[in-house]
Amino acid sequence: MKTSHLKNILSLVFLICLFACQTQVNSSEQYICPMKCEDHKTYDHPGTCPVCKMDLVKVSSLEAPILDEDGISEESIFNLQSEWKTQDNETIHLTDLRGKVLVVVMIYTSCEAACPRLVADMRNIYSKVDNPAVDYVLVSIDPEKDTPEKLKAYAKEEHLEGDQWILLQGKLDDVREFSNVLSMKYKKISPIDFSHTNIISVFDKNGVLQHQQEGLGVSNDKLVQEVKALIEE
């Protein structure tokens, strides 16, 4: 009788310890936005990113990205469902850009200060890479004024013509969502002007962010090297 009672006590203690260990393991799990909208900020429970609204993923899962049935990683911008108009007035989704390395910048056509220099940097990268496996994407942060027609004229004015140059107009919320993914900050400071950070981003063929360059007129050697490496993957 005593032996049986002792066994029951030991079994109960074992179950309590097992439950405690499992709880400790679960509480140690950390979750993060797959797009890293908040840099490396983590959460101790699953949920959605307060910025881009994508589902948070376990930090460990980023080491081996989970792919959906189409082979798209949870980190990919191709998960965004937004629609965009090109400079040719064609409606596209970001998934339509899949299969190309993407060099992306956010600008607005009436900008007279930083944006012309960013566009010059993009042209310089284009000339150095010189490969049709890359698309160069310019996303307007002023979609109310930057219509497809205006983007078309801007592309001609800035010598951004050819199939590799894609200029996009989106809805205000979609532009803001995309800028958050890129950690690109902008703010309207007058009816015609914006303040904004100057970032050129590089995505691989599956839409996963691989490299960013911040600043104007800085050396783009590392970015160009990264683009060429991604072409070969």
Given a cut of 90, is residue 204 above it in pLDDT? yes
Q: How many domains does the chain have?
A: 2
Tell me: is residue 52 an annotated ligand-binding position.
Answer: no
Angle at 98 between CA 211 and CA 151, to 5 degrees: 80
pTM, full prediction: 0.73
- Does residue 50 sit within a domain? yes
Residues 66 and 88 in one domain: no
Residues 218 and 117 in one domain: yes
Cβ contact 168:136 at 8 Å: no
* Distance (Å, whole) CA 51 – CA 72: 21
Residue ending a domain, among 50, 70, 90, is 70
Higher pLDDT, 161 or 192: 161
Residues 141 and 196 in one domain: yes
Report pLDDT digits (tens) over 97-130.
999 999 999 999 999 889 999 999 999 999 999 9
pLDDT of residue 27: 47
- Among 32, 23, 99, 25, smallest CA distance to 60 is for 32
- Does residue 188 sit within a domain? yes
Question: Tokens 């980190």 identify what position?
Answer: 75
Q: Would you state the torsion angle of the CA atoms of residues 142, 145, 146, 152, taken in this order, to the nearest 10 degrees?
A: -170
Tell me: is residue 33 an annotated ligand-binding position.
Answer: no
Residues 152 and 224 in one domain: yes
**CATH no. for residue 123?**
3.40.30.10
Tell me: is residue 115 an annotated ligand-binding position.
Answer: yes
Residue 160: domain span: 77-232
- Does residue 86 sit within a domain? yes
